[in-house]
Structure 1
């Protein structure tokens, strides 16, 4: 039987990939599903930040993930990514990088 290993939580959190913005639709300890206007390549590594509010303070979860699935519906791309690495950062400490998708392929 094939199933998810981690519990997913439905959400609507802002996601940033470079200067492209989207919305996280669900998140778990091991991965994320977000919707965005353009899509990275299947299997690529993508660097992104998810904005969270914890105890009234805005934080960014900065992530390195591998793209496992890319869906398309009504001009929006749904991206399922498995976390490779992540850490919390103060939004003021994040430097905006104008890198095309901030991705690398293997």
Structure 2
């Protein structure tokens, strides 16, 4: 269904994203319940991914660790855009 209604506002933010198990990407936007990122990795709609995003905070560097489900894939001329629904996430200090 095109043009689905989003409850959570999306923030346009570009951050490096590390896929657990190999690969990386860059976020385009993030909301409380999902995000969109671009990657060179092969992804499939319906698959689960684990990833980390490193954040600089006033208290020092933190890692946003999360698991999500790929809900949308867009070919971007050699790269892939992926919409992810967050299933679980936590913020931990960088060791």
Q: TM-score surpassing 0.5?
A: yes
Residue 5 of structure 2 is aligned to residue 3 of structure 1: yes
Aligned to 1:25: 28
* Cα gap change, 1:77 to 1:88, in 2 (>3 Å): same
Q: Could you report, residue by residue, the CA deviation over 1:53-103 in whole angstroms, capped at 9, with x for unpaired residues?
A: 1116221110010110011112111110000000011232xxxxxxxxxxx
Q: After TM superposition, list the pairs within 5 Å mapping 1:1-106 onto structure 2.
A: 2-18=4-20, 19-55=22-58, 57-92=60-95
Aligned residues: 92
| RMSD (Å) for aligned C-alpha atoms | 1.5
Deviations 1:26-75 (A, max 9, x none): 00000010111013211011100112111162211100101100111121
State the shift of 1:2 in Å: 3.8
TM-score of the two chains, using structure 2 as the length reference: 0.88
Q: TM-score, normalised by structure 1?
A: 0.80
1: CA distance, partners of 2:72 / 2:4: 16
* Partner SS for 2:45: coil
Q: Which has the higher contact order (CA 8 A, sep 6+)?
A: 1
